[in-house]
Amino acid sequence: MTAAAASTASTRRAGTLAVTTAATERALRTVFRSPALWISPLAQSLFFLLIYSGQLSNVGTGYLDGQAFIAFLLPLILLTGVATGAGAAGTLTSNDLTSGYLDRLRMAHGTVTPFLTGTVLATLVAVTVQALLTIGGAMIAGYRPNAWTGTLGMLAVMLILGVSVALCSVAVAVRTSSSSSTGLVTLGFFGLSFFTGVFAPVDELSGWMRAIATVNPLTYIIEAARQIESGSALTAGPVAALILTTLVAAGFACCGLALDHARRNR
């Protein structure tokens, strides 16, 4: 009986993995065939990067202690791009709900979790490609990494944030079945990013902007990414790690609650 139960569990895990892999492949095809889902965030990132670095690079040299302004700016650009791109997970989920695709899958498999997992994974792949192309564009515009380990570490921080954005957007899509509501997740992260030390360190800000930036959780994520990229002391690292862990945990919790609500009300 124990051997039979173990065999059944192993078969179930293999089946779940196969379904998740198929769902990921399907979502990847959808994302890369939909320019609005990955080219638009990339174009937005490169646009802001070129405009800000082109207009403000000389100003930034006065208070950055030798750090290139484009290197200081890059974490913010990556954050806004990741936040925008990761929202595609919610868009894809909302589209599948509206078309009835997820309902049919639920009837056939008893759960939609592997399909939602595949959507999140595919979105993260697309976001990674966007971020790497953004870094490549920054290098063309003059960015020179201090060390590739620092650049990749900065990218890893942003991708962890992308996980939380993708999970939250999926949760909102499942809970509301509304594409407009799903877009509010991306809008929230995108808007908060501009209440950080966008063009200068927080210590250089004054008045109400400094007060808001000090309590804004994205400030510490951006600062930690800047410190990782530059190889300086990770003073913002512990707070950023706590914030990222909380955001990802909150994303999983929101997805669980949304799926539970959907099961009870379907």
Q: Tell me the pLDDT tens digit for each residue of 113-125.
A: 778 888 899 999 9
User: Residues 76-94: what's their mean pLDDT?
Assistant: 90
User: Residues 67-96: what's their mean pLDDT?
Assistant: 89
Quick one: pLDDT at residue 152?
94
Kindly state the DSSP code that residue 195 receives in the 8-state scheme: T
Quick one: pLDDT at residue 207?
85
Distance, CA of 125 to CA of 207 (rounded, Å): 40
Phi-psi region of 66 (alpha: psi -120 to 50; beta: other; left: phi over 0): left
> With bands split at pLDDT 50, 70 and 90, how would you rate the model's confidence at 9?
very low
Mean pLDDT, all residues of the chain: 84
Quick one: pLDDT at residue 41?
87
Contact by Cβ (8 Å): 48, 77 = yes
Quick one: pLDDT at residue 62?
65
User: Residues 4-21: what's their mean pLDDT?
Assistant: 58
Q: Tell me the pLDDT tens digit for each residue of 211-261.
A: 999 999 999 999 999 999 988 888 999 999 999 999 999 999 999 898 887
CA distance readout (Å), 186 to 86, 110, 180, 189, 207: 8, 30, 11, 5, 27
Residue type at 160 in one-letter notation: I
End-to-end CA distance of the chain: 35
Inform me whether the pLDDT recorded for 110 exceeds 70.
no
> With bands split at pLDDT 50, 70 and 90, how would you rate the model's confidence at 2?
low
> With bands split at pLDDT 50, 70 and 90, how would you rate the model's confidence at 5?
very low
Number of domains in the chain: 1
Inform me whether the pLDDT recorded for 195 exceeds 80.
yes
CA of residue 77 relative to chain centroid, distance: 12
Distance, CA of 36 to CA of 27 (rounded, Å): 14
Could you list the residue range(s) of the whole structural domain that residue 129 is in?
2-265
Neighbour count for residue 195 (Cβ, 10 Å): 15
> With bands split at pLDDT 50, 70 and 90, how would you rate the model's confidence at 154?
very high
Quick one: pLDDT at residue 108?
64
> With bands split at pLDDT 50, 70 and 90, how would you rate the model's confidence at 1?
very low
pTM reported for the whole predicted model: 0.86
Q: Tell me the pLDDT tens digit for each residue of 22-36.
A: 878 888 888 888 777
